[in-house]
Amino acid sequence: MNHPASEPNPRLAGLDPEHLQTLLGLSRLVQFAAGEHVFREGDLARRLWLVQDGRVMLHTYVPGRGDVPIQTLGAGDVLGWSWLTAPHRWHFTATALSEARAREIDAAILHESSSADPAFGYAVVRALSGALVDRLQATRARLLDLYGEPDSIPRQTNPAAR
């Protein structure tokens, strides 16, 4: 569903204003109701979103555990990466936790515009890579289990120690 843009557009860190305008020009504003799926695991992945406001939860189904939340995303986050690589199918399911608005970009249109204007394409890929790196580093930080009880975390012998 489209609504006129009434909120400030989302930024994409590292993307200069001119290219951001171009990217937003390729996008359309969409809205999700609380509980509505943005995408489902296994479906073809053809879009990405820049979340403008609200919260979206990424989750997957684990037999015996039910729907396990993986990550929540909010204003300023990039949602949806599976369009980048084969088999171009969503890894997880994304569901809006609250009413949420986002700028939706069609991956095919993005590919087309990038081929036509490689400078734009390169700038967008760099900015998207930055967002991906931040997400990866934060995810790795969670793997460290930093808040866990010190004695319960298995110690790894430091290969550099004597």
Interface with other proteins by CB under 8 A: which residues? Answer: 55, 57, 68-77, 97, 134-135, 137-139, 141-142, 144-151, 153, 155, 158, 160-162
State the nearest-atom distance from the C-beta of 107 to other proteins, in Å. Answer: 24
Q: What's the CA dihedral at 132, 135, 141, 144 to 10 degrees?
A: -80
Q: Choose between 24 and 75: whose C-beta lies nearer to other proteins.
A: 75
Count CB neighbours of 21 within 10 A. 11
Q: Choose between 5 and 70: whose C-beta lies nearer to other proteins.
A: 70
Question: In DSSP terms, which residues pair with 59 in a beta bridge?
Answer: 69, 93
Contact (Cβ atoms closer than 8 angstroms) between residue 80 and residue 40: no
Task: Kindly state the helix (H) or strand (E) to which residue 71 belongs, with its residue range.
Answer: strand 66-73
State the nearest-atom distance from the C-beta of 162 to other proteins, in Å. Answer: 5
State the nearest-atom distance from the C-beta of 146 to other proteins, in Å. Answer: 4
